[in-house]
Structure 1
């Protein structure tokens, strides 16, 4: 039976639009303007894309006459197109076909084509399409005979198209037109393919939310605005959202979190977002660093290029919001709670000083060895809150925490610190799946690294990545825990792969897949 199932990208709430430098109001504008439909039949379009397995032999599809087959197969022979994964061959005005352009897109051996490779191919397809004037694209996958591979690859390609087509243009007075093509995806069985497409679209919405939050400038993405934005996009999906204001943060004794923002009139907040997709009493806790702008405090950042990008210091918190949104959108069978301690690290007569002592929620006293090591201060209280007030069974914290991590691993891997083998194994598996890869770093052998002369702990130490992790480990206590240092991965200065220029939304796909994997191992 021929069916057509429409899936509109960006159908969920997009979030906020700038009204002033002091408020961010919610709107219903979509994150992208690209549209998808799923069909089992041939559709008219400006461009036909045919997915071609390696060594497919002579190409012939239903509706192609002899002249069309001869033209297309002659072009394949002359160009040496072999169908290897990612290979492309464009044929302009193919003989006998109504399409203006035909693109042959190689899939290699479909059974071996990974999700990540297919997503990257989708991003490349998007880039190519955006270089044309086409308004409609029909993607024919009928040469992929296995239905499971057919649906899996088509959904991954669509996901790559979608991720690459995101634009952050809310501050442009005359923004360039966003990609607004209509894609129809011809698959083996439309009804069976639909769930895979919907799962990927929910994941993309989570990535878009994280990109949007991370891209917001410091004066618009401040703690309260961040929390309200998250509430706006999460609650319609059935997520329970609680926002603790500065007085509540202070009353709970979270002096580490409160102290970082005390130099600003935009005080600390704590965002808690719970998705009850499973009846487990104890949730999986995701704790993300939400430092909305980082001047460095009185240990002031002095490099202009560095401080310009400090609105991205909330990328860990944005990743947590995005992951909770994705899991809720997928209706994932996971009980997960996102905790985002929100701060803004500013200088004023009220700001905390190097050498000050703050007291965390668990009563630990902390010497502020460096006001620019604020991320671990706010995470300390976030981790404690997840353990003490939410009874988390496992805690994963994520942050753009240290330059030392970038020096050690660059941006190809996030550093992970844990002494739990199950957490490490599942995180590495999730990272490979979505190509947000992680690499384990040691915690042992660094005794005394965060010992303070005057307090229980100090927020500095060397080597820097280990010092941050060991400091945070204390606040997890006996709860299984992992620290993810994603410094260097939150932002790209030019478009690459599935990422347009700007915030990447890194961590959303990693955390989303990890939460599901970890849950499955526990069931």
Structure 2
């Protein structure tokens, strides 16, 4: 790789991009094979899904003759099906209809059905459909009379189907067939509904991108490969992408970021991705931890089960890339920039040692009390870069940072740390909306928690979640800031809800909605 030390700082900040080929395994591929069509008329299909509001009474759909109605409504009576949200009733070989199966899917009171519940129902529908041999599915929603509810619920169900049908199979020589059904969604007004479907599909593409990046093994998702992958998926959407290579990172003084990868031949990078959806001078900055594999460094992880999953330590950075992709795909009217400091925590004769002192971009010194607390080392310089070089109006960082967070909140909530009530409120609202929920933990009352004997601060402390947050708070300076610790939420061992087995893409939907809510204040 060509040395870039001769570049001036001005040239570096202009965003010169390093040139070298990306690894083929990190090349974007189609994420999903399921297809959707929005229509206002009945379509022939292998399966008919009817969305049924609670207590709808006798069902009468266009094209059903008396025998068909009698058969369907007799089945409803026998099964005591009421249309409660999430309930299902399957009718095989319905009399007088050209569908192999009819599935009645209860939506409860449509006005009260939340987005998150509808998405979960879509994921459940996907699982049911995938258990059949159906190639075509028609979803009839016109029993939901209110057009707003009709479109909202249909789009949310479709989003749930998409999210569940993602598969990471690029390394299988003979992968199982992916779900590839063709869905037609019969809605009240196709033109209006299509807008909502397209918005949700853009969001799903962001989630898929994050899942793919997180799922990549360490040797294929290393810093430069991660950055190149992001560049390939973002630039076609109009996102401005800058990749700073290791010599540029060093020249800018980001010794904290650089130190984590100095033991590897795959050195640190910094990815910057800007979406200018409006002309605001100050962007909202999203900073994501992109540690592409975490051995623990010389504080080596010694449990096989733990180290096996350390390719997921880049999930925060993947969430930032996914959120930028979603916002750009939605053409959201926001000015947002994603910053992903990228590292790989390896051991060699050149690796950082416990007790070493490194200098961050802001000139402050850090004692490396534990090389396995590397996430805050790379985020420190990422946050500083967003503040100093991007003039961010607000900064949100996100990371799989501490086991202490899992001990405090488990996997049901991400921890958030902020002293800004407007950020906390909008972050909690966004989390509730998409069911990537957050819970605030305190920053106050921990004086001296990251005090170092020999440097300005140390990268360890107890309690661990607070120590990580307070360490990072310094680098945000006076810029409104929030830290999101999403440890434990990046990966699932088996399919659940909207998540297939593997990476969840957690954080994409949270950040996407938060940026829009915060921008609108």
Give TM class, smaller chain: over 0.9
Q: Is the 8 A contact 1:24 1:225 kept in 2?
A: no
Instruction: Tell me the alpha carbon deviations over residues 64-95 of structure 1, each in whole angstroms, 9 at most, x when there is no partner.
Output: 11111111011001111110000000000001
Counterpart secondary structure, 2:500: coil
Counterpart secondary structure, 1:62: coil
Instruction: Tell me the alpha carbon deviations over residues 275-333 of structure 1, each in whole angstroms, 9 at most, x when there is no partner.
Output: 00011100000000000000000000011000000000000000000000000000000
Q: Is the 8 A contact 2:26 2:221 kept in 1?
A: no
1:278 and 2:282 correspond: no
Q: Is the 8 A contact 2:90 2:102 kept in 1?
A: yes
Larger mean Cα displacement after TM superposition, 432-441 or 24-33: 24-33
Matched with 2:432 is 432
Shift in alpha-carbon separation, 1:22–1:242, aligned structure 2, 3 A: closer
Matched with 2:463 is 463
Matched with 2:9 is none
Matched with 2:167 is 167
Matched with 2:338 is 338
* Residue 24 of structure 1, CA deviation: 3.1
Instruction: Tell me the alpha carbon deviations over residues 81-138 of structure 1, each in whole angstroms, 9 at most, x when there is no partner.
Output: 1100000000000011000000000000000000000000000000000000000000
Matched with 1:119 is 119
Mapped partners of 1:468, 1:350: distance in 2: 25
Shift in alpha-carbon separation, 1:236–1:195, aligned structure 2, 3 A: same
Give the alignment of 1:75-474 within 5 angstroms. 75-474=75-474
Mapped partners of 2:315, 2:466: distance in 1: 20
Counterpart secondary structure, 1:241: strand
Mapped partners of 1:27, 1:341: distance in 2: 20
Matched with 2:515 is 515
* Residue 23 of structure 1, CA deviation: 1.9
* Residue 26 of structure 1, CA deviation: 6.4
Mapped partners of 2:58, 2:501: distance in 1: 40
Q: Is the 8 A contact 1:26 1:232 kept in 2?
A: no
Q: TM (normalized to structure 1)?
A: 0.95
Mapped partners of 1:462, 1:28: distance in 2: 40
* Residue 192 of structure 1, CA deviation: 0.6
Counterpart secondary structure, 1:348: coil
Mapped partners of 1:28, 1:367: distance in 2: 39
Mapped partners of 1:149, 1:352: distance in 2: 56
Mapped partners of 1:505, 1:25: distance in 2: 19
Mapped partners of 1:84, 1:137: distance in 2: 22
Q: What is the RMSD of the two structures over their aligned residues, measured on CA atoms?
A: 0.9
Q: Is the 8 A contact 1:22 1:220 kept in 2?
A: no
Instruction: Tell me the alpha carbon deviations over residues 46-72 of structure 1, each in whole angstroms, 9 at most, x when there is no partner.
Output: 000000000101111111111111110
Q: Is the 8 A contact 1:84 1:108 kept in 2?
A: yes
1:74 and 2:74 correspond: yes
* Residue 25 of structure 1, CA deviation: 5.9
Mapped partners of 1:111, 1:153: distance in 2: 9
Q: Which runs of 5+ in 2 are unaligned?
A: 1-20
Q: Is the 8 A contact 1:245 1:270 kept in 2?
A: yes
Counterpart secondary structure, 2:520: helix
* Residue 22 of structure 1, CA deviation: 8.2
Counterpart secondary structure, 1:397: strand
Q: Is the 8 A contact 1:494 1:501 kept in 2?
A: yes
Matched with 2:36 is 36
Number of residue pairs aligned between Structure 1 and Structure 2: 501
* Residue 30 of structure 1, CA deviation: 1.4
Shift in alpha-carbon separation, 1:288–1:28, aligned structure 2, 3 A: closer
* Residue 29 of structure 1, CA deviation: 3.4
Mapped partners of 1:334, 1:56: distance in 2: 42
Counterpart secondary structure, 1:396: strand
Shift in alpha-carbon separation, 1:446–1:316, aligned structure 2, 3 A: same
Mapped partners of 1:379, 1:510: distance in 2: 19
Matched with 1:8 is none
Mapped partners of 2:81, 2:420: distance in 1: 47
Q: TM (normalized to structure 2)?
A: 0.95
Q: Which runs of 5+ in 1 are unaligned?
A: 1-20
Shift in alpha-carbon separation, 1:26–1:467, aligned structure 2, 3 A: closer
* Residue 512 of structure 1, CA deviation: 0.1
Mapped partners of 1:24, 1:471: distance in 2: 37
Mapped partners of 1:25, 1:68: distance in 2: 52
Matched with 1:485 is 485
